[in-house]
Amino acid sequence: MSGFRLDNKVALVTGGASGIGQAIAICFAEHGAAIRIVDLNEKAAQETADRIKQLGGNATVHACDITDAAQTQSVFQDILALSPVNILVNSAGVAHVGRLENTSDGDFERIFRVNVLGTHHAMQEAVRAMMAQGGGVILNLASIAANAGLEDRYAYSMSKGAVRSMTLSVARDYLPHKIRCNSISPARVHTPFVDGFVKKNYPGKEAEAFAKLAALQPIGRMAQPCEVAMLALYLCSDEASFITGTDYPLDGGFFNLHG
């Protein structure tokens, strides 16, 4: 047992500039991986890369809009020119609050383009490279919204359900090429997005709103990004070499114990 080390491996993390993606990038670097941060926010991505370097790690930054197929292909080619990529983590994503009757086509398409099409573009480029090099690992960030009915999360739930299904398809289709593909379905995770959401939607009642959101998890709190990162580390390590085509709930008991 190597203690989930990623020495001599290269991990590409989309959405690695903040939140869960940032936590995964830092965690993987601390466990030996070289990191390629792919994010629309180049400044924030560089700040994450600088943190990794301060910890003694190796990280490069690659600005990219993953909804753009041509741009994604170009950026991945640049990354692959530096080194092979052993691990792809798809963490880039956006959220939306709304139900069927108040979700516009524009809202629906925006969520689909980032969360579904963006994941598709990144996996497509990674799979091609991994097939050529003889294997690799893909990990997608889904959500409990893929498996449970959440209030006011119509478009978001659609997108994460798609990510979960895409994970299963990729895992099945690329077994002969030694490519593993899994997903993690977190419940609410305390990220800067949550703080911004509470501040925007519950002005003057932030503490009350935060407590209510935390209490939705039966365990009584939100997850921390580092907790998602540790599960991601295991699933992308060689110790998880027998695991593929699986969605892992990380939800504080939400799915099985809620209500």
Could you say which of 156, 174, 202, 248 is catalytic? 156
CA–CA separation, 204 and 58 (whole Å): 42
Buried (b) or exposed (e) across 14-41, using 16+ Cβ within 10 A?
bbbbbbbbbbbbbbbbebbbbbbbbbbb
Catalytic residue check, 202: no
End-to-end CA distance of the chain: 39
Positive or negative: CA dihedral 167, 136, 189, 3: positive
User: Of 80, 159, 92, nearest to 126 (Cα)?
Assistant: 80
Confirm if 166 and 120 have CB atoms less than 8 A apart.
yes
| Structure tokens, 141 | 């960030």
Residues 6+ apart with CB under 8 A from 206: 198, 199
Confirm if 75 and 88 have CB atoms less than 8 A apart.
no
Radius of gyration of the chain (CA): 18
CA–CA separation, 6 and 32 (whole Å): 5
Catalytically active residues, by annotation: 156
